Structure 1
Amino acid sequence: MPIRIRKLIGALFMVVYVIFYALIAMALAQSRPLQEASPWLQPLLYAVLGTIWIVPLLPVVTWMAREDR
């Protein structure tokens, strides 16, 4: 598969993934357990929710950057 097609597919996948992840993270952030959590725990949870989305996308980025055969 040509690199241009891989990058297009990967970019579209990443956009869709980030939209769904943002909706799920927003729902979790507005949930009652997180709202009632300790004020010291909330920033940690928001930091985790804000950075964990990167981990599943690393294989996609690696696949997109792979050289043509």
Structure 2
Amino acid sequence: MPVRLRKLIGTILLIVLVVVYALAAVTFASLLLGASPWWVHLLYFFFTGLLWVLPAMLIIKWMEKPAADHQQRP
């Protein structure tokens, strides 16, 4: 797959990931954490704010792979 196409697909995937993840995190928090104390909300949004980075790193790692025709052969 050409690098430019992989980067286009990866960019679209990152945007979809961020939007879907944010909506899911806020929906989950509003449904289950409504009566919780402030510090539970703080911890929840701290960890969910960092957790999206893991799948994003995988997408970025995939985007940055060299094209198949540029790989070195032994």
| Class of the TM-score when normalised by the shorter of the 2 chains | 0.7 to 0.9
Task: Determine the structure 1 residue equivalent to 2:56.
Answer: 57
**Of the two, which has the highest radius of gyration?**
2
Which is worse superposed, 33-42 or 11-20?
33-42
TM-score, L = length of structure 1: 0.84
Q: For structure 2, which runs of at least 5 residues remain unmatched after alignment?
A: 69-74
Q: What is the root-mean-square deviation of aligned Cα atoms in Å?
A: 1.3
Give the Cα–Cα distance (whole angstroms) in 2 for the partners of residues 40 and 21 of structure 1.
21
Percent identity between matched residues is: 34
The letter for the 1-side match of 2:19 is: I
Q: For structure 1, which runs of at least 5 residues remain unmatched after alignment?
A: none
TM-score, L = length of structure 2: 0.80
